[in-house]
Chains A and B, each alone.
Chain A
Amino acid sequence: MTDVATTRAAATKKSARTTGKQRRINPLNGVAHVSLFLWALATAGPLIWVVLASFKNNTEIFLGKPFALPESFSFKTYADAWSEAHIGQYFLNSVFVVAVSTAGTMLLGSMAAYVLARYKFPGNRAIYYLFVSGLAFPTFMALAPLFGIVQSLGLLNTFTGLILVYIAYSLSFTVFFLVAFFKTLPHEIDEAALVDGAGHLRRFFQIMMPMAKSGLISITIFNIVGQWNQYLLPVVIMQGAGADSKWVLTQGIANISTSAGYHAEWSTLFAALTLSILPMIVVYAIFQRQIQAGLTAGAVK
């Protein structure tokens, strides 16, 4: 009697658990897949549409049917966008500016962060907070005075000016992130090197930098993406006579978009957009894991 009761109780408990689990997961899966799929479609849709439209002529574009295949695939629009709309030039400008300024940001940022994280000296906290306070205020706020400063230094409409400004505005987050990172690195190896007679410089370049590799990679990715995507700063600094030959990609494409309204060269615009999207897709496909980790690293502890 007791035996039966216990077995039955155990059996009901077991079946309740299995059905409970099934009820919990299965219907949710249906909803889950539909909503996830819809958002994936909403994310990829506009991008696929841009690529398709880059092969279409104006008539096809104005006919509607956004996801219909183009009549023929010709790369003429791409050639036009690359040379006549100067996308090639803007692209190279962007590569140059971002390469130099990211390298500069990383070198200067890690130098400052290292000193602030590992050395005691008067004013240490004050300088740290000075750097970090830049995080609180959006760039656009002090636009007019920034323009005045760049102008008075004679750096308006120069790559040097743009690069220095990129570095200066990237330092806040870089220093903030790397100070926290350098603080977590162990002191033992550092001290051992000190005993062996390694100087300050040598310990920084040969011991701390290699140890901080993962943090440096994360913040490098963060800076590359951030500076590549800048629009406001180049619009403010790269203006004046002959500025259009020094524009970066975002500026150049935004300009084609406004002038396309008058000349109705929509396919050139779409080709330009595709040219700016494709490299990102390729890089993302290769470094997807590192990029996601690098960009989110600052936000999760």
Chain B
Amino acid sequence: MRHGKYPFIIGFLVVPLALYLVFVVGAYVQMFQLSLTDWSGYGGFTYIGLENFQKLWDDPVFWIALRHNVYLLIAMPIITIAMALFFAFLLNSGGRKAGGVWGSKVYRVIFFFPQLLALAIVAVIFGRVFGSDKSGMINGLLPESWTPWLFLADEQWALTCILVVLVWQAVGFYVVLFSAGMGSIAEEIYEAAALDGATKVTLFFKITLPLLWDTLQVAWVYLGIAAFDAFALVNIMSVNHGGPDNSTQVLSMQIYLNAFQNSQAGYASALGVVLFFLTLTFAALTLRVTRRDAVQA
């Protein structure tokens, strides 16, 4: 039985572990080292202590990007979850036996589809949907006499456009996810509550929501990760990589620009280090805030 156990274990672990250590763990470890250097991205570097962090603290663009990330991090999950819950509840009301609302299967298929498209492709599509002349889909739909909306070229609205696209793509996935969760809630609970005279709204808030809590928590974390990295959208859709005038600037864009355009890879690593600790804090906070005793179904 023991024969060949360790050679087997080592044989199976060595390649995946090596790849993971080199490209993932290695990158994170080096990030800490490089954050203390003036590395440009090519060639050698010298250690400059905490200078990068000092510079970061004084960098107004960093604070703007951070504020936008926090905004997306809060707004995107809330809007997506609320809409997905609403649609999932509509699709499933009428009961599992009745098969939900008429056409619910078709809706589920359509809603889910954007999830299969690369965010980069979605970004290109919506870059045109939000086109600021008649060639843009929305402006093309507006009456002839209206002045076309600027959308992405408007400092006030550019970030909202990004938010809309994030939500547009994500909602369908969570409709399917919540539908699955709702499907596992026993029909009898609803019937019993309905007999007691509970309305649909009461059913939703007193039964569906508490029993779905675990799934909601997972959704919140997934959405947080998705909203955190809006790189593809900002890089492709926004005017001037985060513009106009930094109005769509986010941290992933800042890391990319500093590493590959401004030749300040050391500074970009310092940004990564700060984000590393922010993420840890966020994860701990999320677990703390959403911790609740699971309700038994």
Give the interface of A toward B (CB within 8 A). 17, 20-21, 24-25, 28-29, 31-33, 35-36, 39-40, 42-47, 49-50, 53, 61-67, 108-109, 111-112, 114-116, 119, 121, 127, 130-131, 134, 136-151, 153, 164-165, 167-169, 171-172, 175, 194, 199-201, 204, 225, 228-232, 235-236, 239, 249-251, 253-254, 257-258, 266, 269-270, 273, 276-277, 280-281, 283-284, 288, 291-292, 295-296, 299-301
Contacts and interface: CB of A to CB of B under 8 A. Distances in A.
B110 A43 contact: yes
A17 B12 CA distance: 63
A184 B8 CA distance: 22
17 contacts: A36-B87, A46-B126, A130-B25, A134-B20, A142-B269, A144-B41, A144-B272, A145-B28, A147-B41, A147-B260, A148-B39, A148-B265, A228-B118, A236-B260, A253-B124, A273-B125, A299-B218
A140 B215 CA distance: 26
A281 B113 contact: yes
B20 A295 contact: no
A254 B121 CA distance: 7
A292 B275 CA distance: 32
A171 to B, nearest CB: 5
A136 B28 CA distance: 12
A236 to B, nearest CB: 7
B75 interface: no
Interface residues of B, number: 109
A149 B30 contact: yes
Interface string B35-47: 0000101100000
B83 to A, nearest CB: 8
Interface of B: 1, 4-6, 8-9, 12-13, 15-17, 19-20, 22-28, 30-31, 34, 39, 41-42, 83, 86-87, 90-91, 93-94, 101-103, 106-121, 123-129, 133-135, 137, 139-141, 144, 168, 171-173, 176-177, 180-181, 194-195, 197, 199-200, 214-215, 218-219, 222, 225, 228-229, 231-232, 235-236, 251-252, 255-256, 258-260, 265-266, 268-269, 272, 275-276, 279-280, 283
A25 B101 CA distance: 10
B197 A201 contact: no
